[in-house]
A and B are shown apart, each in its own frame.
Chain A
């Protein structure tokens, strides 16, 4: 089995699965009807991308597990999602800022994956890149609008940024697996995307009149599964419940 490619697909698919779950929690509770539609649409795209990434992971693994088996029958320590996407929704500002921090990374990553040496990875990236370009436009505009809105919206967005920025660094982590998939031309080293990310982030925060925290200290442990947040276990408890309670059923 191609362990590196398998784990890489889990990293991609678990991020979209966990973030899609979080975003879908907003259903029917958004600040305005247009946001209900946009959030459901974003969650839908993310779940669709999950089906592709985890589907490929299952194919690479070759052990008979499909995307659903991987999504619904793994425990938290086998997940490879970054801590950023596991964070609870908080207020709408925290949700949209989390989305922006992720979208900005994902757009850069997918742009490189289009040229992956693995044709299947490239095909998924081509499809997902179009959706993520739209997500990024929307999350970026909303972060700018709320940062540069009223005093209250500005204060809330600054609090969201202070709360979430420590989870940004993990997106650019590097381990043996990253080095292997990079050497084989499957995916870029995440660290190689950092300069472009930082430039885009600085420009967005400037427009949003928000200040990036001084410290670049970063939490980590999600993308390698060594230390997830406490939140992930609860999220999976809810998400996996039917499959766990009725293991013989087909849905």
Chain B
């Protein structure tokens, strides 16, 4: 997941009788679960919304390396270090497939990177929270990847072919990520007093930010209605959030940890857990750039891009010289 508050056309779903013949044909294909491919005709709004959504996901994968990278050099065993490296490497790979998927819509990776760096495109709010103890690496896998999977599994069926195929690959790896996170939490929760304290503290700090990952309720949002009609969004934010809570609460109990919500109760009538909403004012502040780590995350990405300019230019220049030499031979 990692796509939050992606704006669509803002006009709601066009009634069928107002659609042009091309739009009607397009909608019929989407309704019939046909995949839309890069060379097919598509409404401008569909293309723009998808670019925003896929890019936000790609940017999240890239920025998401930072909070986990924060612990690679301090991982407590060689095996944990190797697993975390493999996971972060997967995430950079996910970023790469997603940028490739976005490029099929007619925008380059460099343009998207510039939009991230100038702040006109966003990444998921969750990566603006710090990872403070080793248990946070467990919590990121268990909760953050767990929440991401909730959205990504249905997106395997999304209408845009390259996006759907990227999601299928990504989901395979994400479920491994979530398991390794849960495994860290289990070791911590069954460990020493200090480890149990770290595990509970991590859950306390990551619970509400994880619920925010799904975005605010969008049952009345015109953006979401359009995205759902185009099948680039499959479920409402509330549906996914509920599913996440229902899955995660029993896992927390199994770990012997307390979810930091006094109003958490199993509702026999609905068969779901009732829970408290996160503080949405905090969420909007984080999106505006006022989260605990927004400054650091963006500064790190800008520095990587700026410091890397000579490397990218050097390698391009060499490739140019080499093809020139080959042509001259």
Contact = CB atoms under 8 A, between A and B. Distances in A.
Interface of A: 17, 21, 24-25, 27-37, 40-41, 43-44, 47-48, 50-51, 54, 67-68, 71-72, 91-93, 142, 144-146, 148-150, 152-154, 156, 238-239, 241-243, 246, 248-251
Given A47-B78, A47-B82, A146-B315, A242 B310 contact: no
A71 B95 CA distance: 32
Nearest to B187: A251
Given A25-B73, A150-B314, A246 B62 contact: no
14 contacts: A25-B72, A29-B303, A30-B308, A34-B96, A43-B72, A68-B78, A72-B77, A92-B308, A145-B315, A150-B310, A153-B313, A249-B191, A251-B134, A251-B187
A148 B89 contact: no
Interface string B52-81: 000000000011011011001111111111
A149 to B, nearest CB: 3
A228 B66 CA distance: 30
Given A29-B304, A149-B318, A250-B191, A238 B74 contact: yes
A27 B308 contact: no
Nearest to A71: B78
Nearest to B62: A33
Contact of B89 (A44, A241, A246): A44
Contacts of B265: none
Nearest to A44: B85
A24 B71 CA distance: 10
Interface residues of B, number: 52
B314 A153 contact: yes
B313 A48 contact: no
A31 B88 contact: no
B93 interface: yes
Interface in B201-239: none
B65 A28 contact: yes
Given A47-B85, A251-B80, A91 B96 contact: no
Contacts of B86: 40, 44
Nearest to A68: B77
Contacts of A31: 304-305, 307-309, 311-312
A156 B304 CA distance: 17
Contact of A149 (B109, B191, B192, B314): B314
Interface of B: 62-63, 65-66, 68-69, 72-82, 85-86, 88-89, 92-93, 95-96, 99, 109, 134, 184, 187, 191-192, 194-195, 300, 303-305, 307-319, 321
Contact of B96 (A37, A40, A50, A92): A37
Chain B interface mostly: helix
A48 B109 CA distance: 32
Contacts of B321: 148
A234 to B, nearest CB: 11
A52 to B, nearest CB: 10
A36 B65 contact: yes
B99 to A, nearest CB: 7
A235 to B, nearest CB: 8
Given A28-B66, A241-B74, A242-B76, 4 more contacts: A33-B99, A54-B78, A145-B314, A149-B315
A251 B74 contact: no
Contacts of B309: 31
A131 B67 CA distance: 28
Contacts of A152: 310, 313-314
Contact of B312 (A25, A32, A51, A241): A32
Nearest to B87: A40
